[in-house]
Amino acid sequence: MTDPTDAETRLRARLAEVEERVVAQRRAVDGIVESARDSNADDEHDPEGATLAWERQQASALAAGAETERRELLAALDRVAAGTYGVCEVCGRPIPAARLEARPAATRCVEHAR
C-alpha cells in the first residue's frame, strides 16, 4: 500500500517544480512577444519574424505542457485526500510504487497505461 503522507510530500514537491516551470515558460512567451513587437517583425517576409514566431510556438507548447502536468498533479492530490491515490482507475488494483515514483500523477497501472 502506498503511504499517503509520502505520496502527498512527493506530489507537493513535484507541483512546486512544475509551478516554477509554468511561470518561467509564461515569462519566456511574454519575452518573445515583446521582442517581436520591438523589432516590428513581419512573420511572412522577415526571416527574424519567422524565427520569433517559431520560438513563441515552442515556448507556448512548453508552457501548455507544464500547465497540463500541474493539473494532473492537483488531481492526484485530490485523490490522496479522497483516499483513492495509487489505485488504477481501470482495474482498481494498486499501481506499483516504482511507477508512482517515476510518474506521481499516474492514474493507471502499467497494464492499463495509455
Which residues are near Zn ion by CB under 5 A?
Answer: 88, 90-91, 109, 112
Quick check: helix, strand or coil at residue 32?
A: helix
Beta bridge partners of 94: 87
Min dist CB 97 to Zn ion, Å, is 15
Min dist CB 83 to Zn ion, Å, is 18
Nearer to Zn ion, 32 or 95 (CB): 95
Would you state the torsion angle of the CA atoms of residues 47, 53, 54, 60, taken in this order, to the nearest 10 degrees? 170
Number of C-beta neighbours around residue 64 at 10 A: 13
End-to-end CA distance of the chain: 23
**Residue closest to Zn ion when measured from CB atoms:** 88
Nearer to Zn ion, 37 or 112 (CB): 112
Min dist CB 31 to Zn ion, Å, is 43
Nearer to Zn ion, 65 or 94 (CB): 94
Nearer to Zn ion, 106 or 109 (CB): 109
Asked whether the beta carbons of 99 and 93 are under 8 A apart, the reply is no
Min dist CB 107 to Zn ion, Å, is 10
